[in-house]
Chain A
Amino acid sequence: MAEIKLESVAKTFGTFAAVKGVTFTVDHGSFFVILGPSGCGKTTTLRMIAGLELPTAGRILLDGKDVTARRASARDIAFVFQLFALYPHMNVRQNIGFPLRCQNYARAEIRQSVEETARLLRIDHLLERRVGGLSGGDRQRVALGRAIVRRPKAFLMDEPLGALDSEFRRLMCGELRELHDRIDATTVYITHDQLEAMAMADRIAIMNQGRVEQIGTPQEIYDRPSSMFVADFIGAPPMSFIGVQAALQRGDRSIRIDGVAIEMPEVFEDRAEGKFALGVRPENVSFADASPLRGRVIGAEYLGTTQIVTVITASGQLKARLPSGKTVRIDESVGLALRPDRLSLFDAMSGRALPSALYAGGSRG
């Protein structure tokens, strides 16, 4: 177990600023996911925690101790890479025990640690098998075993499931999280897959262009995105935005779109006339024949349980998640209802969310 703390950590490669002052704390025993598109600086951040890169500025603390300048080998952290390399000529037991043999552990101790680890991963029946004949999942488990056998203070994982089938990835997500809980580990995990992040994380940090956009629990980030970037990055399909020109007053509970007053959470700030974007998630949009907010259906994607229907309005495109049993015709004109207590309002210029009753409220029950 360990607490990992980053204080204004930055990294520049030549003239390129990969990470621009990142601050966060990963609590003891928590599963922390850094999520972002490729090039956002997440891998560089992870490599700095591991000691594989030195920050250009800032401090990294491990259990309160400054390890910023310490070598990777002196940090007691295990790094799990995207592509696992197992030694093909060794059996499972030798592969898992390898890190301990390198550190000259006693034979009996290696045996005991390897067997414990294998039991934890439920691969103890495979210990004498060659890794060549194993299924993809079991190879993955062996690689994990090699990472956890040393019982390091923290695990850093760089898209360890990226190379797997989507279905198998889902399964491994559950397994990884369960393993994390069982060994009481502190884990920092990076991915660009929001579903992985949502399924596993205690807290998520969303990165964009070297900066942290938002840190929060999966539900907070989903329900109360602090910027349009976050709202757009999380959710499949992402949040839809409707452009609005308006002036806002503290206490406003509605906004006019195409001349129609749309109810929304109470606004907590006065804002001069300007451009705003009303954000709504697909599951909070429904069809309502009588609604004055009208749109034209331009597409429907069948997903089995549900369908995603794209509707174009005078102020922008909206996506609605509807039951797949509902008949939807392309080009048909429909009335739209937006769930009032779930709407976000963003400053269209800065992309930042405006403070409102939704953002001030506690988490949803």
Chain B
Amino acid sequence: MAEVALLEVSKSYGTVEAVRDLSLSIAHGEFVVLLGPTGAGKTTTLRLIAGLERPDRGNVLIQGRVVTDEVPAERDVAFVFQQYSLYPHLTVYDNLAFPLRSPARRMNENVVRRRVQQVAELLHIEHKLGNRATALSGGEMQRVAIGRALVREPAVYLMDEPLSSLDAKLRAELRLELKRIQRELGTTILYVTHDQIEAMTMADRIGVMSEGVLIQLGTPREIYERPNSAYVASRLGTPAINLIPAELLGADAVPPQVRTVGLRTEHIRISSVDRPGPLARVHWVEHLGDQNHVHLKLDTHSLVTLADPVQPLKAGDQVSLEFTEPLYFDQAGNRVAADAFRGHA
């Protein structure tokens, strides 16, 4: 049984369709990440599950129960927002204990203490329990905010970019920690972000959204290696996939319906001009520390690929290109399977 299921859910604000016919089911213990730019409908989806918004059409199920008409408190969910909101006058301990002391729960104080202690250890903030919430660093505050959700044991945790207000450094650390905690506790998480690295490293499955529609749902590897559209292909990968018009490769190099060819950096081989293949010119080499990006000009089109450190390239060099695993897309941007057409590229 799925922990959470959305069945053809739609939600509009005025004339804007924020979420359109969205169906999604999240298994118990699964970490699902919704990835998309601002305005894709990710946050609205979370709010629909939490009960902060009511769908215009469709149903929301939590543990098999239709909750569409229930208020947030009746649904068994915990929400972590982007901006942590802690009670500044309370200690870390009391902030963590707060959700357990709600009159609706009437939890024994010993049980509360045990639970708070457990979560604090998990988040490595047990030594800060006596501190005022305001006497913490940003990373610690966000940990307390996540902890406040974790002390409860809801069916699902809904997280809306919980790491995006943190330093890049801290974000990378908490990313790993959150994944570890989720694995240890076997919790179910629906997590929203526009950061592809967060999605790739934490998700069991990624749902790529655009303009209110769930475009593709799959494991990080599926989404990266077998994107169903040019849009999905361009959401993942650094540097981003190169999308070039098919005619640049020659009419018989690709299946007839193909309009765009997607080339990831690892599928572009650069060799000297005496080798067969399309010719390109090195435009410039960009040093980014761990990666050196080569900007190539293929006819008038720009390609970006990773530089091989043992292959010294400089601006102005002529090179020959070989494309090992191109992805094909049709006029509408949908993927065209390469299986029907092998051996040409």
Residue positions of A touching B, CB distance < 8 A: 37-39, 136, 165-168, 192-195, 198-199, 218-219, 221-223, 233-238, 281-283, 301-305, 321, 323-325, 365
6 of the cross-chain contacts (CB-CB < 8 Å) are A166-B195, A194-B168, A302-B200, A304-B220, A305-B265, A365-B312
A136 touches B221 (CB 8 A): no
| Residues of chain B within 8 A of A234, CB atoms compared | 289
CB of A165 within 8 A of CB of B288, answer no
Q: Which residues of B contact A (CB under 8 A)?
A: 37-38, 137-138, 167-170, 172, 194-197, 200-201, 220-221, 224, 235-238, 264-266, 286-290, 306, 312
Distance between Cα atoms of A321 and B291 in the complex (Å) = 11
Once the chains bind, are A168 and B37 in contact (CB under 8 Å)? yes
Q: Which residue of A lies closest to B196 (CB)?
A: A166
Query: Given A165-B38, A166-B195, do A195 and B288 touch, yes or no (CB 8 Å)?
Result: yes
Is A302 within 8 A of B220, CB to CB? Answer: yes
Shortest distance between the CB of A93 and any CB in chain B (Å): 26
For A193, what are the chain B residues with a Cβ–Cβ distance below 8 Å?
Answer: 168
Q: Which of B38, B137, B264 contacts A305 (CB 8 A)?
A: B264
Asked if B200 and A303 make an inter-chain contact with CB atoms under 8 angstroms apart, the answer reads yes
Give the contacting residue for B289; candidates A37, A168, A235, A301; CB below 8 A. A235
Given contacts A237-B172, A323-B266, contact A282 B290 (CB under 8 A): yes
* Alpha-carbon distance A165/B198, docked complex (angstroms): 13
Given A222-B290, A234-B289, residue A303 in contact with residue B201 (CB < 8 A): yes
Contact assessment for B289 and A233 in the assembled complex, using a CB-CB cutoff below 8 Å: no
| Chain B residues with CB under 8 A of A218 | 287-289
User: Which chain B positions have C-beta within 8 A of A165?
Assistant: 37-38, 194
B77 to A: closest C-beta gap in Å: 26
Q: Are A283 and B312 within 8 A (Cβ)? A: no
Give A221 to B197 CA distance when docked, in angstroms. Answer: 24
| Closest B residue by C-beta to A299 | B176
On whether A304 and B167 interact (CB within 8 A), knowing A167-B194, A236-B172, the answer reads no
Query: Across the interface, do B238 and A305 meet the contact criterion of CB distance under 8 Å?
Result: yes
A281 cross-chain contacts in B, Cβ below 8 A: 290
CB-CB nearest in chain A for B306: A305
A283 to B306, CA, bound (A): 13
Chain B: minimal CB distance from A277 (Å) = 18
Q: 10 tightest CB-CB pairs across the interface, nearest first?
A: A222-B289, A304-B224, A165-B194, A301-B201, A192-B167, A219-B287, A304-B237, A198-B288, A193-B168, A166-B195
Max chain A C-beta neighbours (<10 A), residue from B195, B235, B266: B266
In the complex, how many angstroms separate the beta carbon of A222 from the nearest chain B beta carbon?
Answer: 4
Q: Which of A223, A236, A281, A365 has the most CB of B within 10 A?
A: A236
List chain A residues, Cβ under 8 A from B289. 194, 198, 218-219, 221-223, 234-235
Interface centre among B197, B286, B289 (most CB of A within 10 A): B289
Known: A165-B38, A193-B168, A304-B200. A236 touches B265 (CB 8 A): no
